[in-house]
Structure 1
Amino acid sequence: MSFKKLFLIIGAPGSGKTTDAELITEHNTDTITHYSTGDMFRAEVESGSDRGKIIDSFISKGNLVPIEIAIETIVAAIKRAPNDVVIIDGYPRSQEQMEALDNFLASEENVSLVNVIEVVVSEDVARERVLGRARGADDNNTVFDNRMKVYTEPLSLIQSFYEERSMLVKIDGERSIEAIVDEMESFITSRI
């Protein structure tokens, strides 16, 4: 198995992190693979597997998927990625997820976390974007408030954990998609 370089992108619901990562991957199809934890979980739910049914019981309410299931799903995806550079967005979302990933990486010689990129947007901008794009039943104010709370509660712990390791990079997510993607793409390609 080849050596994988991992980049994590975190940001509030509606920060644009998935779109940013998708565009960067489109520009670098030979070198970068992108996974959204949301996409990984949805694919598992759609497969009709037992793990998918468990995942669905959590995400349908806007709650976090249990740590063991999240790590299993993510680790499997990183290892089978066709490219050596992997971008995952929407992870970690809790101190527990962060520590579980850190423990996994500590014992994994073939995967190295390079950076964590935070796409920073205000709550007002996030709300406007999420409620404006309503993709499904979960996109209403009540669920948005829960998702936002779930995102912000552990955020300072996650930020300080990666700051202490000089891994956290913040990008202003309230600009045009082009500007954000250019900055993020230049940064990632400079590190690989």
Structure 2
Amino acid sequence: MKKLFLIIGAPGSGKTTDAQIIAQNNPEEIVHYSTGDLLREEVASGSQRGQLINSFVSKGNLVPLEIVVETIVGAIQRAPKENVIIDGYPRSVEQMEALDKVLKDRDDVQLVSVIEVEVSEQVACDRVLGRARGDDDNVEVFKNRMKVYLEPLNEIEAFYNQSNLLTKINGERTIEEIVADIEAHIRTKL
């Protein structure tokens, strides 16, 4: 059975970097995927699902939830390791519910933990604007991304808390401290 770990956090919380480092530190046991990368890989594969995804993305449309969830679950099934970290998912209540519905019908993948990397809006903003990787790294775009992140957060937290799956990690420390805490938490579930 595959064990799934989700890492969520605000833009600039460091969730992707944290997940990458943990997977690098544990190459025998853990693999890391980002949702965007999974969708791009599916398109690049030329598969039927990839063509379907491309038909939405190429027109600037959102990929339907069912397809996103099927892509994620398919990647988990094919993962070369038993333990899979996915960062940045779920981003909405609908995404959370869709994943929960699919996982309830499966006995080969188990959601083991949802880890929230907590940072203040100010710290997140300073980090995003400090890295300035592209046109979308400006105050206006950051505020919108933060709003999109925060709107469903209480409901997502409540849902995973009720299932005793949510763990919060202080993301306002050194990357070494944050990674050590997340890694220690994951190790308790392996």
* TM-score, L = length of structure 1: 0.89
Contact 1:45 1:55 in 2 (8 A): no
Secondary structure in 1 matching 2:188: helix
Structure 1 gaps of 5+ residues are: 59-63
Matched, 1:52 2:54: yes
Separation in structure 2 between the aligned mates of residue 136 and residue 69 of structure 1, nearest angstrom: 28
Which residue of the partner structure matches residue 119 of structure 1?
117
Secondary structure in 2 matching 1:191: coil
Give the CA deviation at 1:137.
2.6
Change (3 A) 1:191 1:177: same
Write the letter of the residue equivalent to 1:20: D
Change (3 A) 1:43 1:126: farther
Q: Percent identity?
A: 61
Change (3 A) 1:44 1:53: farther
Separation in structure 1 between the aligned mates of residue 13 and residue 5 of structure 2, nearest angstrom: 17
Give the CA deviation at 1:140.
2.2
Which residue of the partner structure matches residue 27 of structure 2?
29
Write the letter of the residue equivalent to 1:178: E
Change (3 A) 1:12 1:101: same
Q: Residue deviations 1:100-159, cap 9 Å, x none?
A: 000011001000011100000011111111122122232222222221111100000000
Identify which of 92, 97, 100 aligns with 1:99.
Answer: 97
Summarize the alignment of residues 136-151 of structure 1 with structure 2, pairs less than 5 Å apart: 136-151=134-149
Separation in structure 2 between the aligned mates of residue 71 and residue 172 of structure 1, nearest angstrom: 28
Separation in structure 2 between the aligned mates of residue 52 and residue 130 of structure 1, nearest angstrom: 28
Give the CA deviation at 1:75.
1.4
Contact 1:118 1:168 in 2 (8 A): yes
Summarize the alignment of residues 124-139 of structure 1 with structure 2, pairs less than 5 Å apart: 124-139=122-137
Write the letter of the residue equivalent to 1:161: F
Write the letter of the residue equivalent to 1:111: V
Give the CA deviation at 1:46.
6.1
Separation in structure 1 between the aligned mates of residue 121 and residue 63 of structure 2, nearest angstrom: 23
- Across the aligned residues of Structure 1 and Structure 2, the Cα RMSD in angstroms comes to 1.8
Structure 2 gaps of 5+ residues are: none
Write the letter of the residue equivalent to 2:75: A
Matched, 1:175 2:173: yes
Which residue of the partner structure matches residue 108 of structure 1?
106
Which residue of the partner structure matches residue 79 of structure 1?
77
* TM-score, L = length of structure 2: 0.90
User: Paired residues, what number?
Assistant: 185
Give the CA deviation at 1:190.
1.3
Write the letter of the residue equivalent to 1:141: V
